[in-house]
Amino acid sequence: MIEIYEPYIPVLLIAMIVVVLAGVILLANGLLGPKRPTRLKGIPYESGVDPVDSPRHRFSVKFYMTAILFLVFDLEVVFLYPWAVNYNGFLADPGFAATAFGSMAAFLVILALGLFYEYKRGAMSWD
Amino acid sequence: MLMVILAALLKFAAIVLGFVMVLATLLTLIERKQSALMQNRTGPNRAFVFGKNPLSAFVGQLIADPVKVLLKETFDPPHADTWLHRLAPGLAFIPALLMWVVIPFGPGPVPGAEGDNFFLMADLDAGVLVVFAIASLSVYGSTLGAWASRSAFSLLGGLRTAAQMVSYEVTLGLNLVGIFMIYGSLNLNDIIWAQAGYDAATGFQNAYFLGFIPKWGIITQPFAFIFFLAASIAETKRAPFDLPEAESELAAGYFTEYSSMGFAVFSLGEFIGIVVVAALGATMFLGGWHIPGLPIELTAAGQPVIASLATWLSVAAFLFKVVLLVLLQMTIRWTLPRFRYDQLMHLGWVYLLPLSLANVAITAFVLFLTR
């Protein structure tokens, strides 16, 4: 069980180093730099005009649509990976080659149809 | 166990601190110098440290920039979410550095051989998946920083960042599927050996198409390389895809409300991101450390001979390819004008994604026919 994760020890180690590195850089600046806050410095930058209210209003539904599209397609791309890696092995087996190609071709067609449907419904138009 | 930790630390020091950070720091200046050159200006030229010559100004600027940024005032805007605002630059910076853990920068053992890889921090069979897992995290830093700033420009930049990175990530992932199909692995070291024309059955290296064309990804998957390049520039938020920080529309986009080191860490993270995608492109499409016609000396166990000249030339070749791809990205940045936002989304979803799908389908079909 634990042996599977052994190659990930360096990943964990370096993740810790990188976190510390980022922390040190940011903290060093906090210690070395001056601290002279003024009221004007604190106003959000809007090209010299004072902001009228908080910008956190509702924003376009298009961004949510993009996020949903991403979830769908990224998952489907991940489904392709194991098939792609083993594809040469599948093709080497004469009895299975046609199944290996045909099943994934069907999957890609369904994927393309889904994409076409989304396009027709206007999920990707930003006018 | 202790050896594993020590080895990982040494490799991290050598490649990340010794090459990536140095190159990223150099890039901050090279970028300004190159843009000046391309726009017929002089660029930064007066931070002299020794004598009044261009080299002195170059070195001086490299020293002056970090020192200045370190000594400037950092402050939390009173309107911002303090802790999220402080955390965000770190979140943008960490994934960019962490991705180097799985990128091989020199010849490793041949596929199937036992033993550690001398030029790789973590030899993972799921290599590419780890790269994508870490790369997906980098969207949090910029989006969180934008949200926490509570400023109109920041928020718009953050929304754009999130939508753009998420859109082009699909294309980025899809364009590598063809590579996995042809070379049959997710392990970056194995993919490079396959590109170097290594045959596991005979132990022969340097097999070529027609006797002289290397079996690199750019030859077997030329369209995937172009799409990958476009998507990777979009992922690093560089022109012509620099909508999230479009200066003429959004001031500085998602890091408008950052000063001193917060700002510097954001932009350093971005420059490291450029080097990372260049390294990934070099590994996947340009044969990594492979030099055509130069076989790697191998020990009986399938490990490259570390003391051999060919091994170190290969390391140099990898670094050279990375620098080459970085400079290509820079040149594209200063050549092409920025897209409009709807054009950007249209390009990603209506052109690049279906074309990448078609590329996968055609690759599968060709492999099926030529099996």
Which tens digits make up the pLDDT trace of B261-317? 888 888 888 888 888 889 989 988 888 888 887 777 777 776 777 777 778 888 888
Report the candidate in B337, B273, B318, B323 with the shortest Cα–Cα distance to residue B30.
B323
Within a domain: residue A95? yes
Distance of residue A11 Cα from the nearest chain B Cα, in angstroms:
6
Write down the pLDDT at residue B201: 67
The answer, for A9 touching chain B at a CB cutoff of 8 Å, is: yes
Assess whether pLDDT exceeds 70 at residue B203: no
* A28 within some domain: yes
CA atoms B170, B172, B173, B175: torsion sign: positive
Q: What token pair was written down for B196?
A: 């170097």
Average pLDDT, chain B: 83
DSSP state of B79: T
pLDDT tier at B36 (50, 70, 90 boundaries)? confident
The mean per-residue pLDDT over the stretch B169-190 comes to: 86
Q: Sort out which chain A residues have CB atoms less than 8 A from B146's CB and list them.
A: none
Indicate whether A126 belongs to any domain: no
Q: Which two tokens mark B9?
A: 């630390």
Mean pLDDT (whole number) for A64-82: 85
Quote the pLDDT of residue B30: 85
Q: What is the CATH number of the domain that holds A82?
A: 1.20.58.1610
Structural domain contains residue A125? no
Nearest Cβ partner of A10 from B70, B93, B122?
Answer: B122
A18 touches chain B (CB under 8 A): yes
Domains identified in chain A, total number? 1
Alpha helices (runs of H) in chain B, residue ranges in sequence order: 2-11, 21-38, 54-71, 82-98, 127-149, 152-175, 177-183, 188-195, 217-220, 222-235, 247-250, 260-285, 309-335, 341-346, 353-369
Residue A94 has φ and ψ, to the nearest 5°, of -60, -30
Interchain pair A25, B261: CB under 8 A: yes
Give me the interface pTM, i.e. the ipTM.
Answer: 0.83
Kindly state whether A32 is in contact with chain B, defined as any CB-CB distance less than 8 angstroms. yes
**Exposure string (b/e) for B252-290, b if CB count within 10 Å is 16 or more?**
bbbbbbbbbbbbbbbbbbbbbbbbbbbbbbbbbbbbbbb
pLDDT at B210: 67
Nearest-by-Cβ selection for A85 from B69, B173, B185:
B185
Output the CA angle A114-A116-A119, nearest 5 degrees. Answer: 110
CA angle, B233 then B256 then A31, to 5°: 110
Enumerate residues 66 to 95 of chain A having a beta carbon within 8 A of any beta carbon in chain B. Answer: 66-67, 69-70, 73-74, 77-78, 80-81, 84-89, 91-92
Report CB contact under 8 Å: A14, B8.
Answer: yes
Query: In the structure encoding, which two tokens stand for residue B254, read together?
Result: 């998602």
DSSP B18: I
Task: Say if A127 falls within a structural domain.
Answer: no
Neighbours of B106 (CB within 10 A): 25
Domain that holds residue A108: 2-120
* pLDDT reported for residue A68: 86
Alpha-carbon Rg of chain A, whole angstroms?
A: 26
Which residues in chain B are contacts of A108 at CB distance < 8 A? 357, 360-361, 364
User: What are B279's two structure tokens?
Assistant: 């390294």
Distance from CA of A12 to the nearest CA of B (A): 10
H/E stretch holding A106 reads helix A97-120
pLDDT digits (tens, 9 = 90+) for B63-95: 888 888 888 888 778 777 888 888 888 888 888
Looking at the complex, report in whole angstroms how far the Cα of residue A112 sits from the nearest Cα belonging to chain B. Answer: 7
pLDDT bin (cut points 50, 70, 90) of residue A1 is: low
Query: How far is residue B17's CA from residue B34's CA, in Å, rounded to a whole number?
Result: 24
Contact B79 A80 (CB under 8 A): no
Number of inter-chain CB pairs under 8 A, A vs B: 216
* Contact list, A11 vs chain B (CB under 8 Å): 98, 101-102, 121-122, 124, 130
How many Cβ atoms from other residues are within 10 Å of residue B250's Cβ? 20
Q: Is the dihedral of CA B157, B159, B164, B166 positive or negative?
A: positive
Reduced to 3 states (helix: H, G, I; strand: E, B; else coil), residue B214 is strand
CB atoms within 10 A of CB B99: 26
The angle that helices B353-369 and A61-92 make with each other, rounded to 10 degrees, is: 10
Phi first, then psi: what are they for B336, rounded to 5°?
-95, 140
pTM for this model (two decimals):
0.86
**pLDDT greater at residue A103 or residue A127:** A103
